[in-house]
Chains A and B, each alone.
Chain A
Amino acid sequence: MAEARQQARRPHGAAGAIVLNGVHKWYGEFHVLRDINLTVREGEKIVICGPSGSGKSTLIRCINRLEEHQQGEIVVDGIELTNDLRNIDKIRAEVGMVFQSFNLFPHLTILDNLCLAPVWVKKKSRAEAEKTARMYLERVKIPEQALKYPGQLSGGQQQRVAIARALCMNPNIMLFDEPTSALDPEMIKEVLDVMIELANSGMTMMCVTHEMAFARSVADRVIFMDRGEIVEMAPPEEFFANPKSDRTKHFLSQILNH
Chain B
Amino acid sequence: MTATTNRPGPGPISPPAKPNLLYRPEFRQAVYQILLAACLIFAFWTIASNVSDNLARQNIASGFGFWNRTAGFDISQSLIAYSNQSTYGQAFWAGLLNTLLVAAIGIVFATILGFLVGIGRLSSNWLIARICGAYVEILRNLPLLLQLFFWYFAVLKNLPGPRQSFSLPLGASLNVRGLYLPAPVPGPGFRAVLIALAIGVVASFAVAIWAKRRQRETGERFPVLWTTLALILLLPGAVYIALGQPLSFEYPALRGFNFQGGIAIQPELMALVVGLSTYTASFIAEIVRAGIAGVPRGQREAANAVGLSKGLTMRLVILPQALRIIIPPLTSQYLNLAKNSSLAVAIGYPDFVSVFTGTVLNQTGQAVEVILLTMLVFLTISLITSAFMNWFNKHIALVER
Inter-subunit contact B316/A116 (CB<8 Å)? yes
Chain A, residue nearest B221 (CB): A123
Smallest CB separation, A175 vs chain B (Å): 8
Beta-carbon contact of B305 and A105 below 8 Å = no
Other-chain contact of A117, B220, B299, B308 (Cβ < 8 Å): B308
Residue of B nearest to A119 (CB): B219
In the complex, which residue of chain B has the Cβ closest to the Cβ of A65? B304
Chain B window 277-315, contacts with chain A (Cβ cutoff 8 Å), 1 for yes, 0 for no: 000000000000000000010110111111111001000
A126 on the B face (CB < 8 A):
yes
A147 → chain B closest CB, angstroms: 12
B255 at the interface (CB under 8 A from A): no
Please report which residues of chain A, range 163-203, place their CB below 8 angstroms from some CB of chain B when the two chains form the complex. 165-166, 169
Instruction: Verify if B89 is at the interface (C-beta below 8 Å from A).
Output: no
* CB-contact partner of B304 in A92, A101, A125, A162, under 8 A: A92
Cross-chain contact A101 with B400 (CB below 8 angstroms): no
Residues of A close to B218: CB separation below 8 A: 125
1/0 per residue B312-323: CB within 8 Å of A?
100011001100
**A99→B302 CA distance, assembly (Å):** 8
Please give the distance in Å from A105's CB to the nearest CB on chain B.
6
Chain B facing A: main interface SS: helix
Contact present for A105 and B317 (CB under 8 Å): yes
A53 to B255, CA, bound (A): 78
Chain A residue contacts of B7, Cβ below 8 A: none
C-alpha gap A137/B401 in the complex (Å): 20
The count of chain B contact residues (Cβ–Cβ below 8 Å) is 27
Tell me whether A121 and B307 are in contact (CB under 8 A): yes
Where chain A touches its partner, the secondary structure class is mixed
Check A93 for interface membership: any CB of B closer than 8 A: yes
Complex alpha-carbon distance, A162 and B306, angstroms? 11
Chain A interface category by residue count:
35 or more
**Other-chain contact of B219, A99, A125, A151 (Cβ < 8 Å):** A125
State in angstroms the CA–CA spacing of A125 and B214 once bound together.
Answer: 8
Closest to A121 in B: B307
Task: Report if B362 contacts A (CB, 8 A).
Answer: no
When each residue 98-139 of chain A gets 1 if its CB lies under 8 Å from chain B and 0 otherwise, what string results? 010101111100000000110111011111110000000000
Does B216 belong to the interface (CB within 8 Å)? yes
Do A103 and B302 contact each other (CB < 8 Å), given the known contacts A120-B316, A123-B219?
Answer: yes
Task: Tell whether B336 is near chain A: CB-to-CB under 8 Å.
Answer: no
Contacting residue for B305 out of A97, A101, A128, CB 8 A: A97
B399 within 8 A of partner (CB): yes
Residue of A127, A152, A165 near B306 (CB, 8 A) is A165
Closest residue to A116 on the B side, CB-wise?
B316
User: A120 to chain B: which residues have CB within 8 Å?
Assistant: 308, 312, 316
Distance (Å) between the CB of A99 and the closest chain B CB?
6
When chains A and B are docked, how far (Å) is the Cα of A123 from the Cα of B309?
13
Task: Encode contact with B along A80-97: 1 for CB under 8 Å, 0 otherwise.
Answer: 000000000100110111
Instruction: Report if B215 contacts A (CB, 8 A).
Output: yes
Whether the Cβ atoms of A66 and B298 lie closer than 8 Å is no
Name the B residues within 8 Å of A214 (CB-CB): none
A149 at the interface (CB under 8 A from B): yes
Q: How far apart are the CA atoms of A166 and B217 in the complex, in Å? A: 22
- B299 close to A151 (CB less than 8 A): no
Q: How far apart are B305's CB and chain A's nearest CB, in angstroms?
A: 4
A66 CA / B301 CA spacing, docked (Å): 7
Does A248 belong to the interface (CB within 8 Å)?
no
Give the shortest distance, in Å, between B297 (CB) and chain A (any CB).
Answer: 9
A157 within 8 A of B: no
Does A125 contact B312, Cβ atoms closer than 8 Å?
no
Contact of A103 (CB < 8 Å), options: B220, B298, B309:
B298
Contact residue among B302, B304, B306, B401 (Cβ-Cβ distance under 8 Å from A149): B401
- Further contacts, 17 of them, CB under 8 A, given A99-B305, A103-B298, A121-B309: A65-B304, A89-B309, A92-B305, A105-B299, A105-B302, A105-B303, A116-B306, A117-B307, A120-B308, A120-B312, A121-B307, A125-B218, A126-B215, A126-B216, A149-B401, A162-B302, A165-B306
23 A-B Cβ contacts within 8 A? A65-B304, A66-B301, A99-B301, A103-B298, A104-B302, A105-B321, A106-B400, A116-B306, A116-B317, A120-B316, A121-B312, A123-B219, A123-B220, A123-B221, A125-B215, A125-B218, A126-B216, A127-B216, A129-B219, A149-B401, A162-B302, A166-B305, A169-B307
What are the nearest 10 A-B pairs in CB distance? A125-B219, A103-B302, A126-B216, A117-B306, A103-B298, A97-B305, A92-B307, A121-B307, A125-B218, A124-B219
A residues apposed to B, CB below 8 Å? 64-66, 89, 92-93, 95-97, 99, 101, 103-107, 116-117, 119-121, 123-129, 149, 151-152, 162, 165-166, 169
